[in-house]
């Protein structure tokens, strides 16, 4: 098992197809942005993957941004192949994101996850993440 950062120069049609297939396991109907849009210099994202025998079996992304209240990272798209769960891949991906977030000098790392997702919540809280007394609100039509 290898944990790696995916960089623009790593982007091939095969990599795009593997990530897309992995991501469709989550929800086939979800919006899915192409990696060619994500892996561009202007987009401040640390894109971590897990490979087993050259197959991409997990992803985790950390977007970084600076606002008055701090230099933040937001975790998204933590996905592990359904056939590879229980091997600690999610934890390894997250550990790599935290390591990279530290190098970047972030003040805080944020993530949100569904209240019903007990295994994900267990992983995040075991790594020190704390539930904040805040609601997450979203708007799609504007």
Contacts of 81 (CB under 8 A, 6+ apart): 22, 25, 57, 58
Instruction: Give φ, ψ of 36 to 5 degrees.
Output: -65, -20
Distance, CA of 107 to CA of 70 (rounded, Å) = 6
Show the site string, 27-56: x = touches a second copy by CB under 8 A, - = not: ---xxxx-x-xx---xxxx-----------
Of 6-14, 24-32, 50-58, 85-93: span binding a second copy (CB under 8 A):
24-32
Is 3 among the residues that bind a second copy (CB under 8 A)? no
Say whether 90 sits in a helix, a strand or coil: helix
Count CA atoms closer than 13 A to 106's CA, side-chain side: 22
Footprint (CB under 8 A) of a second copy, residues 102-131: 102, 107-116, 121, 124-125, 127-131
Is 71 among the residues that bind a second copy (CB under 8 A)? yes
Minimum distance of a second copy from residue 30's CB (angstroms): 6
Sheet of 2-5, strands arranged across: 2-5, 45-52, 55-67, 70-80
Pick from 94, 56, 92, 91: which is nearest to 75 by CA? Answer: 94
Minimum distance of a second copy from residue 86's CB (angstroms): 22
Is 68 among the residues that bind a second copy (CB under 8 A)? yes
Say whether 120 sits in a helix, a strand or coil: helix
Number of residues this chain uses to bind a second copy (CB under 8 A): 59
Q: Which residues of the chain form contacts with a second copy (CB under 8 A)?
A: 19, 23, 30-33, 35, 37-38, 42-45, 59, 61, 63, 65-72, 74, 76-77, 98, 101-102, 107-116, 121, 124-125, 127-142
């Amino acid at each position: 098992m290898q944990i790696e950062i995916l960089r623009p120069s790593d982007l091939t049609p095969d990599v795009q197809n593997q990530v897309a297939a992995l991501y469709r396991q989550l929800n086939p109907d979800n919006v899915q942005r192409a990696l060619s849009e994500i892996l561009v210099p202007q987009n401040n994202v640390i894109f971590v993957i897990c490979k087993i025998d050259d197959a991409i079996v997990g992803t985790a992304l950390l977007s970084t941004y600076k606002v008055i209240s701090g230099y933040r990272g937001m975790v998204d798209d933590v996905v592990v192949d359904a056939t590879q769960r229980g091997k600690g891949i999610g934890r390894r991906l997250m550990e790599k994101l935290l390591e990279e977030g530290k190098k970047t000098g972030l003040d805080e790392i944020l993530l949100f996850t569904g209240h019903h997702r007990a295994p994900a919540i267990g992983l995040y809280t075991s790594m020190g993440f704390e539930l904040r007394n805040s609601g997450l609100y979203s708007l799609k039509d504007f």
